[in-house]
């Protein structure tokens, strides 16, 4: 059995399968050396957490768990022949396959994004931003400005953290094409986010489309919709632009090709099998999976009201799907009926600056330092590997004592 991609969905699937009493041999194919706990990347940027805590090595995480690891990238999957090829020129056969290759930053075709904008998805991105903060804090220029594009959860959390780190050394502009920040978020969290941005003097520009990213700033058009194409272009000079505008799926080439959904994701049925293939499952940001279960919940930002409801691109969803995929792979081996994915919305947590957070879920809301500690605890429980969890918990305890 092969799992492609060792992020939230893939790593959890592989570890769950390997932990089953009669679990099959599992091979995880993942090119990175370290797993990255993305929801805590902001705390790494601010120095509230350390690299080893949020980015443990796969070699350590998988040791003794019965999961073999191949540090390569899958390039093509021939699902008719049940074989795949890697960038290490290896051809591997599989009985069943899980595609959990996640997503990457989506530029939406805006010129200049890949050349001039910084991203926020990797350890290298964090190092680049830390260097930028150091430089801006030296106040080399008057009226320094930093732009964060996209006022979804990533953009809002990043803007708050950066504002705290910069402590007035630069103005932060948060640019959003839509009419509101955090569309689809819980109302309490959105209110808290507004408050946090105001307290930090972050300038929120809604209804503002980025027409181009330049070496020294942005070209902006006021007006949220297509009409903005005719709106006058205004220049905004910035020391740097950070792009958190959205997620595009990373899907290896499939042979024979299958029709992806309009966002480029693998179309899945209710049991998380990739439609048009045999023995292939998909989950997480790379997959378009029916929402299932708690469908009475309002669609989130990643699920436009007009599209058929698919599960949002969050770590929470990838975790829950991993349990379903692992169970279905076992059912498949035993020729049992597969179970449909049941989405259970556990709520939403957002970090809003150093030592601050907001959360809504399980029937209650909380904001401030207590929410920050609760969020850390909730994520501690989600860190992969019991030994790693124990080490991180020990470290946090030592800080408090």
Ligand X SMILES: Cc1cc2nc3c(=O)[nH]c(=O)nc-3n(C[C@H](O)[C@H](O)[C@H](O)COP(=O)(O)OP(=O)(O)OC[C@H]3O[C@@H](n4cnc5c(N)ncnc54)[C@H](O)[C@@H]3O)c2cc1C
Chain CA centroid to CA 122, Å: 11
Please name the residues in contact with 128: beta carbons below 8 A apart, sequence gap of 6 or more: 118
Phi then psi dihedrals of residue 24, to 5 deg? -80, 165
Question: Rounded CA gap, 23 and 273, in Å?
Answer: 19
- Would you list the DSSP string of 306-318? TS--B--SSHHHH
Helices 386-400 & 369-382 angle (0-180, nearest 10): 150
Q: Is 43 in the site for ligand X (CB under 6 A)?
A: no
Report H helices in 174-309.
187-199
Q: Is 4 in the site for ligand X (CB under 6 A)?
A: yes
Q: Binding residue for ligand X (CB under 6 A) from 73, 331, 382, 391?
A: 73
**Token pair in block for residue 242:** 């950070």
Stretch touching ligand X by CB under 6 A, among 37-45, 175-183, 352-360, 381-389: 37-45
- N-term to C-term CA, the chain: 45
Helices 187-199 & 153-166 angle (0-180, nearest 10): 30
Residue numbers 365-384 binding ligand X by CB under 6 A: none
Q: Is 8 in the site for ligand X (CB under 6 A)?
A: yes
Q: Is 252 in the site for ligand X (CB under 6 A)?
A: yes
Please name the residues in contact with 278: beta carbons below 8 A apart, sequence gap of 6 or more: 79, 82
Q: Is 246 in the site for ligand X (CB under 6 A)?
A: no
Give the interface size with ligand X as a residue count (CB under 6 A). Answer: 33
Q: Binding residue for ligand X (CB under 6 A) from 39, 56, 292, 385?
A: 39
Q: Is 315 in the site for ligand X (CB under 6 A)?
A: yes
Helix (H) or strand (E) holding 60: helix 58-62
Q: Binding residue for ligand X (CB under 6 A) from 101, 208, 310, 320?
A: 101
Block residue for tokens 């029916």: 290
Residue nearest to ligand X (CB): 7
Question: Rounded CA gap, 33 and 30, in Å?
Answer: 8
293: DSSP letter:
S
Q: Is 154 in the site for ligand X (CB under 6 A)?
A: yes
Q: Is 30 in the site for ligand X (CB under 6 A)?
A: yes
Give least dist CB 155 to ligand X, A. 10
Give least dist CB 46 to ligand X, A. 13
Give least dist CB 292 to ligand X, A. 16
Q: Is 250 in the site for ligand X (CB under 6 A)?
A: yes
Give least dist CB 193 to ligand X, A. 13
Residue 244: helix, strand or coil by DSSP? coil
Q: Binding residue for ligand X (CB under 6 A) from 3, 18, 38, 129?
A: 38
Q: Is 41 in the site for ligand X (CB under 6 A)?
A: yes
Q: In terms of CB distance, is 173 or 285 closer to ligand X?
A: 285
Residues making contact with ligand X (CB under 6 A) = 4-10, 29-32, 38-39, 41, 73-74, 100-103, 120-121, 154, 250, 252, 284-286, 313-316, 318
């Amino acid at each position: 059995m092969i799992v492609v991609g060792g992020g939230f969905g893939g790593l959890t699937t592989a570890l769950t399968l390997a932990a089953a009493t009669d679990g099959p041999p599992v091979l995880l194919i993942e090119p990175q050396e370290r797993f990255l706990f993305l929801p805590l990347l902001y705390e790494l940027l601010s120095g509230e957490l350390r690299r080893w805590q949020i980015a443990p090595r796969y070699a350590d995480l998988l040791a003794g768990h019965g999961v073999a690891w191949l540090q390569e990238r899958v390039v093509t999957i021939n699902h008719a022949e049940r074989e795949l090829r890697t960038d290490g020129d290896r051809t591997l056969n599989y009985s069943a396959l899980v595609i959990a290759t996640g997503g990457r930053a989506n530029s939406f075709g805006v010129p200049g994004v890949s050349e001039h904008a910084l991203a926020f998805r990797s350890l290298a991105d964090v190092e680049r931003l830390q260097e930028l903060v150091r430089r801006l804090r030296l106040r080399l220029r008057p009226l320094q400005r930093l732009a964060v594009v996209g006022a979804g959860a990533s953009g809002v959390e990043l803007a708050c953290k950066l504002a705290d780190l910069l402590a007035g050394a630069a103005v932060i502009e948060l640019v959003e094409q839509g009419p509101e920040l955090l569309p689809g978020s819980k109302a309490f969290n959105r209110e808290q986010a507004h408050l946090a941005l105001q307290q930090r003097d972050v300038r929120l520009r809604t209804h503002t489309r980025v027409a181009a990213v330049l070496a020294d700033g942005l070209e902006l058009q006021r007006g949220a919709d297509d009409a903005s194409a005719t709106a006058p272009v205004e220049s905004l000079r910035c020391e740097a632009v950070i792009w958190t505008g959205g997620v595009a799926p990373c899907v290896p080439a499939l042979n024979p090709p299958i029709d992806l959904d309009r966002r480029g994701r693998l179309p899945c049925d209710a049991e998380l099998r990739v439609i048009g293939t045999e023995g292939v499952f998909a989950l997480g940001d790379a997959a378009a999976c029916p929402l299932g279960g708690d469908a009475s919940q309002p669609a989130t930002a990643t699920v436009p009201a007009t599209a058929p409801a698919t599960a949002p691109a969050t770590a929470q969803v990838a975790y829950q799907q991993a349990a379903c995929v692992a169970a279905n792979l076992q059912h498949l081996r035993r020729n049992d009926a597969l179970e449909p994915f049941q989405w259970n919305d556990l709520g939403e947590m957002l970090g809003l600056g150093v030592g601050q957070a907001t959360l809504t879920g399980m029937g209650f809301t909380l904001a401030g330092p207590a929410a920050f500690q609760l969020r850390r605890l909730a994520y501690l429980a989600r860190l992969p590997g019991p030994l790693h969890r124990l080490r991180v918990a020990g470290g946090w305890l030592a800080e408090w004592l």
